[in-house]
Amino acid sequence: MAENPAEQMVFTLNGRAVSVRSDPNLPLLHVLREELGHRATRFGCGQATCGACTVIVDGRAVMSCDMPVSAAVGLAVETAEGLDGVPPHPLVTAFLDHQAGQCGYCLPGILMAAKALLDAEVAPDRARIARALDANLCRCGTHVRILDAVEDAARQIAGRV
């Protein structure tokens, strides 16, 4: 693939403005990991079919392997690093409490897909959560514990626990 001239691009990453000079057609995933050092977001298939690279862009869960970085200019990008606050996001504690991961490779993408849902909807039920995570594969097969954890986090956020 021919390289395009680099451009300076600015967007918000986990609440902070970032400026990066890059080929505007590079995938957002590549720029996050290789240019900005945010390596929580994972490369799985590179073809928008596994969800490992899911991030949130302006409130919407997107597969960052399939989005040119230029499409994020001026927008708010969130990655799993942004969940690691003090205290951590309820999703993080719920995933730990339920031991939702096995190898953990899928989890940053699943956490961001789940966060996009919980940011948009109060107390979604299990079926709704399953639909929201449908595009995110987990080859370790921990889906039941993942759903338990997201349900738990949803209850915490809704103040039901």
For position 106 contacting ligand FES by CB under 6 A, the verdict is: yes
CA dist 111 and 89 (Å) reads 10
For position 142 contacting ligand FES by CB under 6 A, the verdict is: yes
H or E stretch including 76? strand 76-78
For position 138 contacting ligand FES by CB under 6 A, the verdict is: yes
Q: How far is the CB of 64 from ligand FES (least distance, A)?
A: 7
Question: What is the SS3 string spanning 35-56?
Answer: HCCCCCCCCCCCCCCCCCCEEE
Of these, 7, 104, 151, 155, which contacts ligand FES (CB under 6 A)? 104
Q: Which is nearer to ligand FES, 17 or 111 (CB)?
A: 111
Take residue 40 and report the two structure tokens written for it: 């929580």
Q: Which is nearer to ligand FES, 98 or 161 (CB)?
A: 98
Q: How far is the CB of 17 from ligand FES (least distance, A)?
A: 25
- Give the binding-site size for ligand FES (rule: CB under 6 A): 22
b/e 100-126 (16+ beta carbons within 10 angstroms → b): bbeeebbbbbbbbbbbbbbeeeeebee
Note the residues at the interface with ligand FES (CB under 6 A): 43-46, 48-53, 63, 65, 101-106, 138-140, 142
